[in-house]
Amino acid sequence: MPNRNLNLILLGPPGGGKGTQGERLQEDLELPYYATGDILRAAVRDQTEIGKAAKEYMDRGDLVPDDVIIGVIAERLESGEADHGFILDGFPRTVPQAEALDRKLSELGRQLTAVVLIDVSDEEIVHRLSGRRVCVDAGHVYHVDFNPPATEGVCDIDGSELIVRDDDEPEVVRHRLVQYHEKTAPLVDFYRKQALLNRVDGSQDPDRVGESVRSLISTFSLEEGS
């Protein structure tokens, strides 16, 4: 049964498990799950006004400005599909984006329920991502420790070669983490000051992380209903 008025943000480093938990919450709570990249691509595909603006930047290889991203999010929030709440993943990434989101929600007479930070150490993230292997033909994903193929370097499903993606190389992962911390540390503080931030230990296995997140959600649901 849908949970009314649960407006949630998932924060965490790349490879921290936001996508896994977001998809589980989407199913459990029957709420729309918005990963920023996905909804940008959908807006471009559907040729909405904001999508057309975003496409111009994306075609040039430029970063999509905050006001355009906010517009894409606003289209979804105003569409009616998020009337019972939403789960945001990958947005906001910076304090200015968070402030813009607050303004848009205020215009709609809504506010955030909570921000869930899935906290994982940098070394754990490097281990997770640098251990990933992807088959060149169909993109099937393995991990040298958590989900190894039957034969090293060979996809179990289609027999194609398994490779390390460029953005999973350890030095690249560490660079991505530096950028994440530079942008997200102020954002964590921003939401802490609003008493919205909730930390979950993301170093646990996904099922345990999911239990912790659902436990938090139950608390939010009770507060919304009181």
* 93 is an active site residue: yes
* 199 is an active site residue: no
The whole-angstrom separation of Cα 90 and Cα 37 is 8
* 132 is an active site residue: yes
What class does CATH assign to 6-32+82-225? alpha beta
* 165 is an active site residue: yes
pLDDT (tens, 9 = 90+) of the chain, 226 residues, equals 344 579 999 999 988 999 889 989 999 989 999 988 788 888 888 898 888 888 888 888 677 888 888 888 888 888 888 888 999 998 898 899 999 999 989 998 899 999 999 999 999 999 999 999 999 999 899 999 989 999 999 999 999 999 998 889 999 999 989 988 988 889 999 999 999 999 999 999 889 999 999 999 888 765 655 4
| Catalytic position from the list 24, 128, 132, 133 | 132
Query: For 87-97, what is each residue's pLDDT tens digit?
Result: 999 889 889 99
Please report the pLDDT score of residue 3 as a whole number. 46
Segments of the chain assigned E as strands: 6-11, 33-35, 85-89, 114-119, 132-135, 141-143, 162-163, 197-201
**pTM, entire model:** 0.82
| Catalytic position from the list 18, 24, 128, 133 | 18
Please report the pLDDT score of residue 2 as a whole number. 44
| Catalytic position from the list 4, 52, 103, 165 | 165
Cβ atoms of 209 and 17 closer than 8 Å? yes
Please report the pLDDT score of residue 57 as a whole number. 83
Nearest residue to 118 via CA among 4, 5, 24, 6: 24
